[in-house]
């Protein structure tokens, strides 16, 4: 479900970044010479902020502890323990 949130937010961020860029150009009265660089900066800042908010709101699933020792080693160590 988290991937759906990230995808939806990415689409919204693209539209919002384009709108912000157009508003900047309207206020300046001309197109920006490095339009793609400005767009990249806008969308990068917005995505870092919004994705970190999504991650903080979404509960984290911690992986279960996995025993990494092979079964043979476990059997040998159990046999060596004096009872």
Q: pLDDT tens digits, residue range 43-78?
A: 999 999 998 888 888 777 766 566 665 556 555 556
Residue 79 lies in a domain: no
What's residue 1's pLDDT? 75
Using pLDDT thresholds of 50, 70 and 90, give the confidence band for residue 25.
very high
Using pLDDT thresholds of 50, 70 and 90, give the confidence band for residue 2.
confident
Residue 33 lies in a domain: yes
Residue 31 lies in a domain: yes
Residue 27 lies in a domain: yes
Total structural domains within the chain:
1
Task: Look at residues 44, 5, 53 and name the one whose alpha carbon lies nearest to residue 21.
Answer: 44
**Residue for token pair 């300046």:** 28
In the chain, alpha helices (H) = 2-28, 35-57, 71-80
What's residue 62's pLDDT? 64
What's residue 18's pLDDT? 96
Structural domain harbouring 19: 2-61
How much is the mean pLDDT over the chain?
83
Whole-model pTM: value is: 0.64
- Average of per-residue pLDDT across 11-31: 95
Mention every residue, 6+ apart, whose C-beta is less than 8 A from residue 10: 47
């Amino acid at each position: 479900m988290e991937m759906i949130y990230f995808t939806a937010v990415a689409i919204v961020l693209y539209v919002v970044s384009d709108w912000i860029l157009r508003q900047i150009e309207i206020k300046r009265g001309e197109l920006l010479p490095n339009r793609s660089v400005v767009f990249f900066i806008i969308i990068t800042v917005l995505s870092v902020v919004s994705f970190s908010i999504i991650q903080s709101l979404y509960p984290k699933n911690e992986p279960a502890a996995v025993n990494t020792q092979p079964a043979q080693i476990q059997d040998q160590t159990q046999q060596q323990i004096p009872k």
